[in-house]
């Protein structure tokens, strides 16, 4: 039986009957891989300098995946929007629970900024519980919007020193907004 996946360089000749799928569209990559394996064929992972550029899969499979992706695009977008709306709704409920006195303007900014999709911000990670994501998003918001933290950094102060310098203002604001512990949510 042939290996299921082989890593090749971009300079390696394209196998006969294969086509290249650039990395980036998870739906196409997952389905191309799965269908190629199910067909008992090899997936060629194209790698340059230890960075994956994409995969090489049979042309007929790639054509089928492109067609399926186009057919299901609207439904997948709708499902993603529903998931994102639910995530923001859950975050809003948790924010209201932890910070019952947060001003409405700040509440909206925390939800909009801290939970922005594809931002790499704490609100989008799946590695920590929602209660902590909300707390960290509020802390970041206070730090950047209600203290001179950024000015201290711009003035050459180290990150740790700047955080120490604004700590009292941060803790006071957390308490004013209804967080009892000032640092951790009771649901952590």
Number of domains in the chain: 2
Does a structural domain hold residue 61?
yes
Contacts of residue 108, defined as CB under 8 A and 6 or more positions apart, other chains included, come to none
Please tell me the predicted confidence (pLDDT) of residue 181.
62
Taking the CA atoms of the chain, what radius of gyration do you get in angstroms?
24
What is this structure's pTM? 0.64
Domain range spanning residue 113?
99-176
160 and 107 part of one domain: yes
Closest CA to 110 of 83, 85, 145: 145
- CA nearest to 55, candidates 85, 18, 83: 18
d(CA 98, CA 47): 46
Q: Which two tokens stand for residue 83?
A: 């998931």
Mean per-residue pLDDT of the chain? 91
Q: Is residue 86 part of a domain?
A: no
**Which residue among 69, 90, 108 closes a domain?**
69
pLDDT digits (tens, 9 = 90+) for 79-134: 988 988 898 999 999 999 999 999 999 999 999 988 887 677 777 778 899 999 99
* Same domain, residue pair 103 and 57: no
**Could you tell me where the beta strands, DSSP code E, fall in the chain?**
5-8, 18-22, 43-48, 51-58
Residue 184 lies in a domain: no
Q: Is the pLDDT of residue 182 over 70?
A: no
């Amino acid at each position: 039986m042939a290996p299921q996946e082989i890593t090749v360089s971009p300079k390696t000749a394209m196998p006969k009957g294969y086509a290249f799928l650039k990395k980036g569209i998870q739906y196409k990559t997952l389905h191309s891989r799965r269908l190629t394996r199910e067909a008992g064929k090899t997936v060629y992972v194209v790698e340059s300098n230890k960075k994956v550029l994409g995969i090489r899969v049979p042309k007929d499979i790639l054509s089928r995946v492109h067609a399926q992706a186009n057919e299901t695009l609207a439904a997948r977008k709708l499902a993603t929007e529903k998931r994102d709306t639910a995530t923001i709704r859950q975050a809003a409920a948790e924010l209201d629970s932890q910070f019952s006195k947060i001003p409405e303007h700040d509440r909206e900014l925390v939800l909009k900024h801290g939970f922005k999709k594809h931002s790499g911000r704490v609100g989008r990670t799946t590695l920590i519980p929602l209660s902590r994501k909300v707390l960290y998003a509020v802390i970041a918001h206070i730090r950047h919007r209600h203290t001179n933290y950024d000015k201290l950094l711009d003035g050459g102060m180290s990150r740790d020193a700047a955080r120490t310098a604004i700590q009292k203002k941060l803790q006071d604001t957390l308490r004013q907004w209804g967080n009892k512990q000032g640092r951790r949510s009771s649901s952590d």
